[in-house]
Amino acid sequence: MKIEVDTHTHSIASVHAYSTIDELALGARRRRLRGFVITEHGPELQGTPHRYYFGNLKVLPEKMRGVYVFHGAELNIMDKAGHVDLDKAYIKPLHFVMAGFHEQCFESRSAEVNTHALIAAIENPLVDGISHPGNPAFPVDFEAVVKAAVRAGKTLEINDSSFRVRAGSATTCREVAALCKKHGALITCGSDAHIANDVGNVKTALAVIREAGINKEHIVNRTLASFRDFCTKRKAARAYL
Ligand SMILES: [Zn+2]
Ligand SMILES: [Zn+2]
């Protein structure tokens, strides 16, 4: 099993990442991907782009180095009501919008409060999917989260970087994957690359997905066509907001 589109990458538009978009495209090409999504952090995280960055993504060519470049974001969940840190006008034209917990923007509280916030973000019509829901720093009721994602038709991510940088993820991400299999949730498999060499580096995440027995039809970024299909549906849903 492989993926054709990496749904989670960062460029030097974030001060804690180290490659340009052109270098990310080269990295994607080296791994024989057909596309990747640039998912810069929302503006409330320190050292991340101003909202104008998202407004101007349209200047990028559709393909760079022979690889499709999709416009995305990894927004911050800001409160218990599941609000995110970018205005609707900037979100609507994007191809793929993730939201996730980051310590600077949402302090982890009880599992009950975290679960409430994460489900509210899943139900936020501006959001297409959740980044690293298995992050052990934010304990949640995984089964409730997975069920909410299925109800809303949103994606949950199995994030390859988690296995390297978020301690304890080997257990939590397996738990998320098993529940996604059990309830038939849609998932994405993303590298969360902060440097070109890591674009498409999803070996561990794919192994966990395989081990859980997740149906390949539920991996929305498995092929360019399946990813485009999901984005088209989501963008149409956001158009009415
Ligand atoms: Zn993140
Ligand atoms: Zn990220």
CATH number of residue 232's parent domain: 3.20.20.140
Ligand nearest to the CA of 11: 2
148 pLDDT tier (thresholds 50, 70, 90): very high
Ligand nearest to the CA of 73: 2
Average pLDDT over residues 128-150: 97
User: What global pTM score does this model have?
Assistant: 0.97
The rounded Å distance from CA 49 to ligand 1 centre is 14
1 pLDDT tier (thresholds 50, 70, 90): confident
Report how far residue 230's alpha carbon sits from residue 80's, in angstroms, rounded to the nearest whole number.
27
Give the pLDDT score at 97: 98
Q: What are phi and psi of 59, to 5 degrees?
A: -75, -15
Residues with Cβ–ion distance below 5 A, ligand 2: 74, 192
Alpha carbon of residue 84 to chain centroid = 14
The rounded Å distance from CA 6 to ligand 1 centre is 14
Q: Is the pLDDT of residue 143 over 90?
A: yes
Q: Is 143 helix (H, G, I), strand (E, B) or coil?
A: helix
The rounded Å distance from CA 103 to ligand 2 centre is 13
Q: Is the pLDDT of residue 74 over 90?
A: yes
Sign of CA dihedral 173, 184, 41, 195: positive
CB atoms within 10 A of CB 81: 12
Ligand nearest to the CA of 40: 2
Q: Is the pLDDT of residue 222 over 90?
A: yes
Name the residue type at position 93. Answer: P
Report how far residue 173's alpha carbon sits from residue 38's, in angstroms, rounded to the nearest whole number.
23
pLDDT, mean over the chain:
97
The rounded Å distance from CA 41 to ligand 1 centre is 7
Count of the separate structural domains present in the chain: 1
The rounded Å distance from CA 147 to ligand 2 centre is 23
Report how far residue 239's alpha carbon sits from residue 241's, in angstroms, rounded to the nearest whole number.
6
Task: State which residues form the domain around 102.
Answer: 5-239
Give 57's DSSP letter. G
36 pLDDT tier (thresholds 50, 70, 90): very high
Give the pLDDT score at 44: 97
Give the pLDDT score at 188: 98
Q: Is the pLDDT of residue 239 over 90?
A: no
